Amino acid sequence: MSYVTTLEQTRFVFPDLRTLLAKATPLRSGDVLAGVAADGPVERLAAQMALADLPLAAFVGADVPGVEGDEVSELIAARHDPAAFAPVASLTVGEFREWLLAPEADAAAIGALKWGLTPEMVAAVSKICRMQDLVSIAAKVRVLSAFRSTIGLPGRLATRNQPNHPTDDTRGIAASALDGLLMGTGDAVIGVNPATDSVEDYIRIVTLLDDLRLALEIPTQSCCLGHVTTAMAAMDKGAPVDLVFQSVAGSQKANDEFGVTLAMLAEAQEAALALGRGTVGTNAMYFETGQGSALSAEAHYGVDQQTMEARAYAVAREFDPLLVNTVVGFIGPEYLFNGKQILRAGLEDHFCGKLLGLPMGVDVCYTNHVEADQDDMDTLMITLCAAGVNFVITVPGSDDVMLNYQSLSFHDAVFARETLGLKPAPEFEDWLKRIGLTDAEGRLQDAPPALAGNAAVTGLLELSA
């Protein structure tokens, strides 16, 4: 079936859903690279108008990539719930946008759609939303998740403390983690991207993070972001694994590139839950995604990168994660060229993740070969905070010395608390007050003397001597 818009006697014809979605996507370099982008701003608008008039129901049972036997497409089809879809089943994509913006669509109404919406539906509506729409709609959605802390409550922002080190040095990781804790970060997770992927290093890293957590009695969870198979092997050996991590993407072939299948993720989730380490909840998975990963694996099937990204969320929501974040500016200028494209993509990803029911966070980040700087990151962070983002990534001084890119800083977390008024997870907020790192109003204080005398801290200091 083809889709047509006529603008002042010019007929624009889009032969299939895949083409319509791609051409309706706001400009980004990855779609140009893939050869699927609109030929210009007028054709893009024609596609957006055709898309706005398309019934949402056109996506039910539609296989957008059209690849026989793709397990992500099969999962999307199998999970679609007609009863949950019923409230919006008669709407077009354009009417759905208005439905979402209207005050009647509150957290409960939008949340009830979760299993009625497919990734392609939410990608479609995001393409005809301005940034302000992406903020106002997402801000109404609440997705809570919990392990030792509760993430996603209104008026709160959690942070991942990311103490990476280029050689996974134990003291280097501990020093950065402590720096972040002293700035009040780490309520989402204290999570290390390992430079190596051996089981021994994985176990050493989760053990050092767990020791730090126990010594300071921090109500949070830790994670080593190694491969899911490494996590499984570590759990087999009795390692203290809180969250199991995996990068995921929107097609089976793209997930093959990551060396992961749905069955492996199910097995890993089961193993993590069997450890019973959560105290206030049982969300034990952590996923990262990012626009362009399917294209870079040549596993996009002519589908635009933003729709493929939304399909990754269908994978993530299958496993009740504690945390999901897009690593939005990491992939490079051939996918997202500049600050403008990163800003838009970060808000789209957050919006689509939230509508699909994910506890969505964002790694607000960039590399040195994209046209972006700290000002762009400030804008994205502030906009995401207005949109109610569940958590953001923070690193020492915005400089990740292992992955060689710039993310938000521990300082930025202080800014979000004190200028934007966003509190940490309630369990973590209590801990910060109890040990004296924040005052009664939640303002960050100088390191309390008692903390400097803690065994974990003095142990680290002795190692430095």
Partner 1 sequence: MSGKSRTEALMAPLKAMTEARIGMGRSGGGLPTRASLAFALDHARAKEAVWSEMDRTKLAETLADLGPIGFASSRVSGREEYLTRPDLGRLLGDEADLPGAEPGGLAIVVADGLSATAVELNAAAVLRALVPALGDTGLPLAGIVLARQARVALGDEIAQRMGAAAAVTLIGERPGLSASDSLGAYISWAPRPGMPNADRTCISNIRSGGLVPDLAAAQIARLLKDMKRVGASGLEMKARLATLPAP
Task: Report the length, in residues, of the chain.
Answer: 465
Q: How far is the CB of 93 from partner 1 (least distance, A)?
A: 29
- State the Cα–Cα distance between residues 89 and 40, nearest whole angstrom: 32
Residue 247 one-letter amino acid: S
Task: Report the candidate in 30, 25, 14, 76 with the shortest Cα–Cα distance to residue 298.
Answer: 30
Continuous H helices in 160-304:
170-182, 199-216, 228-236, 252-257, 262-275, 293-296
Specify the 3-state DSSP secondary structure of 290: coil
Q: What one-character DSSP code corresponds to residue 82?
A: H
Say how many C-beta atoms besides its own lie within 10 A of residue 438's C-beta. 20
Half-sphere exposure of 201 (CA within 13 A, CB side): 17
Compute the CA torsion angle 12, 14, 20, 24 (nearest 10 deg). Answer: -20
Q: How far is the CB of 350 from partner 1 (least distance, A)?
A: 22
Residue number with CB closer to partner 1 (109 or 414): 414
Residue number with CB closer to partner 1 (91 or 447): 447
Residue number with CB closer to partner 1 (236 or 439): 439
Q: How far is the CB of 99 from partner 1 (least distance, A)?
A: 36
Residue number with CB closer to partner 1 (172 or 281): 172
Q: How far is the CB of 335 from partner 1 (least distance, A)?
A: 9
Q: How far is the CB of 337 from partner 1 (least distance, A)?
A: 6
Footprint of partner 1 (CB under 8 A): 29, 32-33, 163-166, 169, 171-176, 178-179, 182-183, 332-334, 337, 367-370, 373-374, 395-399, 401, 404, 406, 409, 411-419, 446-449, 451-452, 457, 460-461, 463-465
Q: What one-character DSSP code corresponds to residue 441?
A: T
Tokens of 269: 């989730």
Residue number with CB closer to partner 1 (167 or 279): 167
- State the Cα–Cα distance between residues 175 and 3, nearest whole angstrom: 57
Q: How far is the CB of 25 from partner 1 (least distance, A)?
A: 16
Residue number with CB closer to partner 1 (163 or 290): 163
Say how many C-beta atoms besides its own lie within 10 A of residue 274's C-beta. 10
Residue number with CB closer to partner 1 (234 or 416): 416
Q: How far is the CB of 12 from partner 1 (least distance, A)?
A: 25
Q: What one-character DSSP code corresponds to residue 116?
A: G
Tokens of 430: 């209590």
Specify the 3-state DSSP secondary structure of 14: strand
Residue number with CB closer to partner 1 (136 or 338): 338
Q: How far is the CB of 276 from partner 1 (least distance, A)?
A: 34
How far the first Cα of the chain sits from its last, in Å, is 72
Collect all residues with Cβ–Cβ distance below 8 Å to 307 and sequence separation of at least 6.
Answer: 21, 22, 25, 64, 119, 120, 123, 250
- State the Cα–Cα distance between residues 134 and 198, nearest whole angstrom: 40
- State the Cα–Cα distance between residues 101 and 283, nearest whole angstrom: 30
Residue number with CB closer to partner 1 (215 or 266): 215
Residue 431 one-letter amino acid: W
Q: How far is the CB of 234 from partner 1 (least distance, A)?
A: 24
Q: Where are the beta strands (DSSP E) in 305-364?
A: 323-326, 360-362
Residue number with CB closer to partner 1 (130 or 369): 369
- State the Cα–Cα distance between residues 310 and 30, nearest whole angstrom: 15
Tokens of 155: 């008026």
Q: How far is the CB of 292 from partner 1 (least distance, A)?
A: 12
Q: How far is the CB of 371 from partner 1 (least distance, A)?
A: 8
Residue number with CB closer to partner 1 (328 or 457): 457
